[in-house]
Structure 1
């Protein structure tokens, strides 16, 4: 690691050092590894071989004096004519009057810019000089305070002065096994490639290096978290657990049985459980959670179930109380709106061990919540937690086992990245007899006709959801808002059916009252924003309209659709949208073709990328410089397997073959990690 500050380079004073710091460049190592995100082909071309609007480099002799004309505030145009093989064309540079000094009649010049075939002219971007040797120009992410050319010059100087200090950080056997470019050569070729082939090989090396170092850190975290000294063995009563599962009002699917066995194996082990349970909407994760909590209770430990909303917490409490015998299991609900007196009683019950299972929101991880003997923590829909945030839960009690559940199917690529420190269980089977939701896409002008059709469902005694992206009118977005829709439907279905409105700006008590009324069929139509996305369970609701559906990602549309089809009747999801672009149209098409959340999540990842799907800030996903989680997914898997194998070697850090790697992975003095 070349730790000298960039300020050692000539031309980098305090002001420029600050500008570089804004790009994340503090040291020479940072500068050398600040790679371009693309390259421009600046090979000189002939006028006869170029296309309209193509960015090209043209070389020729200047045949007219440069003229600068000014218009508007600080706006100018520099124009001159060039000749290539007897063909004369005009070159224009906007707002770069200082280039006039580089243009002399009779001199040869190479100009890079965009070609306009109709006008037979070029809009210049940069002057490359008469003797053009490089064929590819690196393009970097920069700010207004620093030019591309300045950054390139600094990188060149850094290579001249410090290039020999670049050391290898991968084990030699991996370089040989995957035919990777040595690090020093790859670094230089990333900035100054001699050919597309060299650029490709350099990128291949850098992608592997980024993924591999990340996976080394993840696997290390997994090893330390799972070590025996960190865990507790929950020796549950096998016979009681068998009796409990036999008394369930339904037969478990094979997938439920498989994941239950995986979880129970982890509970009995001394190693600290860190497991992610993925299951599509309606696949039966709650009953798996109930079995795990029951098992924990039979071993004399307490369990906690944390969920994102109070509505969902209440629902889970009701579901679990239907499965648990109240004489055998004591449950409690703890949320932000729990009254002070009741809260005090619950805290006392948790501390003295009278309460076996507590269900709640983020209120569960507050400092004053103390447990007598916490053995298992389950969090539902916390897929937006980053690595460090997830750690908060593990510090409650004596390192309780941790099970994360999500109904947002996460593509394998993201699961092994964002949850690299966990084991993953998947419920990939739906309970028998569940009828898939039929999804249709209609244009806004077909809405009235479809609302008329929905009356048939209402006449059968069923209910319907109408989901809108916004609460009130917004000039920024041309979307149907919840208030407007609510007023329209109240009038449309009057006086036969009751319409209610639910949105995020309401108080929790108000939301709960509206949801309870809808669950009790006191209102038949619920107009809502996406607050109903997670966990709301009304089996009698058979129709869902999603207004401006193209505003939502596939994963969110699938989550919303999962609110219907929860009973035994056929259910319908109507996507109302008029997408303006191909991506929007593609999303609507995919939604009508499949009900499989895992297929949808992969498609969502392809269409929108990991940042959009997960939201980088919340998820703890690293922002790789060059590697791409979608396009380089295979490399990620290879890197993970190789990292895993190294961590299986006892005291690998002490072995000479891994000395450079051990040096790179040394924890920093500030305790920084790769994570959020």
Structure 2
């Protein structure tokens, strides 16, 4: 029996070495091979020159009307040039570094040339010279993503063999009602037309079918997973409402309306009998920690423990200090668990966690080690959750008996991507800043304006403020012409001595060294902190009013926005100075976006448009999928429709018992456990 799950090793010509080469492209099964879709097509059917558009990849058939000229330059580089008559027009043809083609080009003979049309020069920059054999393949030639281990021709040949051999077992997954509604192909025809299209229209229809199928299957998996979570028995945290209100009244400031709305959403989940799985999104400085604090108090007031996992020791320490102040005088006992603790101290704390004498445990991934046994874990909070891998997040979930999960992120995720990445989570958004916070003024300066930036920074220091200076590197790099943190710290020490003290912070320092520098900065012993991006997350000093970023075009938009959020934590006006001479249009666009808006969601949407969905959060860590055909930004409407259709199908009684849906049921069973979402 043939199956699409057969190993590619079953195909003729695929031995162990070829199997390894295919695996380097993530092709392990016949289905992987058949769904390894082309990235683009070359037009093989010849066209007339008057129909060609500038920079279009074209194929033309013509007669050679000039002797071929071969010239050589540089090391093993060559240029072959000749002219051809196509219909009534004449075009220059140039091939680079393919000298062996010269013997195929003779005056007054017919040739077929594939290449890129340069209208202004009346020239075809050739990529391929075809014979004028009447049996030459016509239509569109698929071009696949390849690597050094495997050639285009090999991929094409194997896909043709796999399709010919397995086409009978390609089952259509989409229900007939959806195919008819959107005029989509059956799966077998879709795969055929993507790899071997009859014409451009058929290729487009196949691409539309594949994009919708991809979105629909993804959303079906996600929503089935979400329903499965809801069917699991969770913990009901039936806190006393009046006691929680009493605690909220002790908070020394009024919650924003967005914070109140989010607190209500989280508290409703705590009381429900299934496991909470909620993402709390809020821009830097929007007040997520106090919202988490209210949820922590609700859980602990009913006898449960709470674990809060942060990505760095600096951030874990800051949370522990802040929450210890928040819960001062209550029955919340705060403990800090990190990997750098002394062995005796570590063991004592493990005993206290196990016997329940501490009920709020804050730490790094040390919280999920096997030796850590919780007495009664009711709520697990993951801060900056995209910085943890899926397995780490799952490990925290598995501590205790289905504890409620609250994931937090200060990286604003556009709604476009939230639908895609976190469709299995309920999402709460804090979309307003606390009262009294002033928007950070952002300025972009060229390097020749650096003295202006330094003078401005000095003026802020003279008013008693503090500043951050960020560099992309720790030490000099021969390959990158960028300022490095160590050299910058020395420069500023010389420039500002003896009036101001400069500190240095980078990832190669020990945790103790980092903590000591941070404490000195917090205490005002250091006026300027020169750092790498280690300060991107969680550092909180309300007296810092300037964030100066060297070579700012080297950073992504999300990272720049996170860095900017380190200032503006107090009531004083704060500033972000971006020093950059971008070499690309994208670098310029990033600088212009940062100057134009301080809204993290606008920044994130622009980042998505510039970089694509796969790069915004880092797909391997965050679980954001990389779709083969669909683009969640360009095809957002299709993604939303597919989401709605998947939900409607799951709501249909007995949908999984219908004969026409059995291939879909099998697909879901096969992929549900393999899904990379936790």
TM-score range, shorter chain: over 0.9
* Residue 84, structure 1, aligned to residue 110, structure 2: no
Which residue of 1 is the match for residue 540 of structure 2? 537
* Residue 391, structure 1, aligned to residue 394, structure 2: yes
- 420, 439, 449: which is aligned to 1:446? 449
Which residue of 1 is the match for residue 275 of structure 2? 272
Residue 329 (structure 1) shift: 1.7
Q: Counterpart of 2:386 in 1: which secondary structure?
A: coil
How far apart in 2 are the matches of 1:118 and 1:415?
45
Q: How many residues are paired up?
A: 674
Which runs of 5 or more structure 1 residues have no equivalent in the other structure?
A: none
Which residue of 1 is the match for residue 326 of structure 2? 323
Which residue of 1 is the match for residue 36 of structure 2? 34
Residue 395 (structure 1) shift: 0.6
Aligned 1:67-216 pairs, distance under 5 A: 82-85=84-87, 91=93, 93-94=95-96, 96=98, 107-115=109-117, 122-130=124-132, 131=134, 134-216=138-220
Aligned 1:608-627 pairs, distance under 5 A: 608-627=611-630
Which residue of 1 is the match for residue 568 of structure 2? 565
Aligned 1:467-546 pairs, distance under 5 A: 467-546=470-549
Aligned 1:293-312 pairs, distance under 5 A: 293-312=296-315
The answer as to whether partners of 2:112 and 2:130 remain within 8 angstroms in 1 is yes
TM norm structure 1: 0.93
Which residue of 2 is the match for residue 435 of structure 1? 438
The answer as to whether partners of 1:386 and 1:621 remain within 8 angstroms in 2 is no
The answer as to whether partners of 1:386 and 1:418 remain within 8 angstroms in 2 is no
Root-mean-square deviation over aligned CA pairs = 2.7
How far apart in 1 are the matches of 2:571 and 2:230?
42
Residue 673 (structure 1) shift: 3.3
How far apart in 1 are the matches of 2:660 and 2:55?
52
1:30-88 Cα shifts (integer Å, max 9, x gaps): 33222101122334233455567653222123567889888888777767664434766
Q: Counterpart of 2:603 in 1: which secondary structure?
A: helix
How far apart in 1 are the matches of 2:214 and 2:415?
18
How far apart in 1 are the matches of 2:80 and 2:444?
53
1:574-600 Cα shifts (integer Å, max 9, x gaps): 111111111111111111111111111
The answer as to whether partners of 2:58 and 2:116 remain within 8 angstroms in 1 is yes
* Residue 286, structure 1, aligned to residue 294, structure 2: no
Residue 617 (structure 1) shift: 2.1
Which residue of 1 is the match for residue 22 of structure 2? 20
Which residue of 1 is the match for residue 60 of structure 2? 58
- 378, 403, 406: which is aligned to 1:403? 406
The answer as to whether partners of 1:387 and 1:418 remain within 8 angstroms in 2 is no
The answer as to whether partners of 2:277 and 2:404 remain within 8 angstroms in 1 is yes
Residue 305 (structure 1) shift: 1.1
* 451 and 227 in structure 1: CA distance in 2 versus 1, 3 angstrom threshold: same
How far apart in 1 are the matches of 2:160 and 2:103?
25
Which has the higher mean CA deviation after the structures are superposed, 282-291 or 178-187?
Answer: 178-187
How far apart in 2 are the matches of 1:98 and 1:444?
49
* 387 and 502 in structure 1: CA distance in 2 versus 1, 3 angstrom threshold: closer
How far apart in 1 are the matches of 2:241 and 2:118?
78
* Residue 549, structure 1, aligned to residue 580, structure 2: no
Q: Counterpart of 2:481 in 1: which secondary structure?
A: coil
Q: Counterpart of 2:278 in 1: which secondary structure?
A: strand
Which runs of 5 or more structure 2 residues have no equivalent in the other structure?
A: none
Which has the higher mean CA deviation after the structures are superposed, 298-307 or 626-635?
Answer: 626-635
1:79-115 Cα shifts (integer Å, max 9, x gaps): 7664434766665545556657766766533121245
* Residue 237, structure 1, aligned to residue 229, structure 2: no
Which residue of 1 is the match for residue 369 of structure 2? 366
Q: Counterpart of 2:455 in 1: which secondary structure?
A: helix
1:625-674 Cα shifts (integer Å, max 9, x gaps): 112222122222222222223333455423334212101122369x6335
How far apart in 1 are the matches of 2:604 and 2:468?
23
Residue 606 (structure 1) shift: 0.6
Q: Counterpart of 1:383 in 2: which secondary structure?
A: helix
Which residue of 2 is the match for residue 344 of structure 1? 347
Which residue of 2 is the match for residue 314 of structure 1? 317
1:205-252 Cα shifts (integer Å, max 9, x gaps): 1011111111222222222222242x1111112121111011211111
How far apart in 2 are the matches of 1:297 and 1:499?
42
Q: Counterpart of 2:61 in 1: which secondary structure?
A: strand
1:145-178 Cα shifts (integer Å, max 9, x gaps): 5443443344334434433432211111221222
How far apart in 1 are the matches of 2:575 and 2:120?
53
Residue 417 (structure 1) shift: 2.4
* Residue 417, structure 1, aligned to residue 445, structure 2: no
Residue 291 (structure 1) shift: 0.5
- 575, 581, 585: which is aligned to 1:582? 585
Q: Counterpart of 2:387 in 1: which secondary structure?
A: coil
* 89 and 555 in structure 1: CA distance in 2 versus 1, 3 angstrom threshold: closer
* Residue 638, structure 1, aligned to residue 625, structure 2: no
TM norm structure 2: 0.92
How far apart in 2 are the matches of 1:189 and 1:288?
52
How far apart in 2 are the matches of 1:116 and 1:649?
55
The answer as to whether partners of 1:53 and 1:114 remain within 8 angstroms in 2 is yes
Q: Counterpart of 2:640 in 1: which secondary structure?
A: helix
How far apart in 1 are the matches of 2:674 and 2:236?
31
How far apart in 2 are the matches of 1:545 and 1:76?
49
Which has the higher mean CA deviation after the structures are superposed, 142-151 or 465-474?
Answer: 142-151
* 55 and 321 in structure 1: CA distance in 2 versus 1, 3 angstrom threshold: same
How far apart in 2 are the matches of 1:71 and 1:482?
43
Residue 394 (structure 1) shift: 0.8
* 276 and 139 in structure 1: CA distance in 2 versus 1, 3 angstrom threshold: same
How far apart in 2 are the matches of 1:118 and 1:603?
34
Residue 275 (structure 1) shift: 0.6
* Residue 226, structure 1, aligned to residue 222, structure 2: no
The answer as to whether partners of 1:502 and 1:514 remain within 8 angstroms in 2 is yes
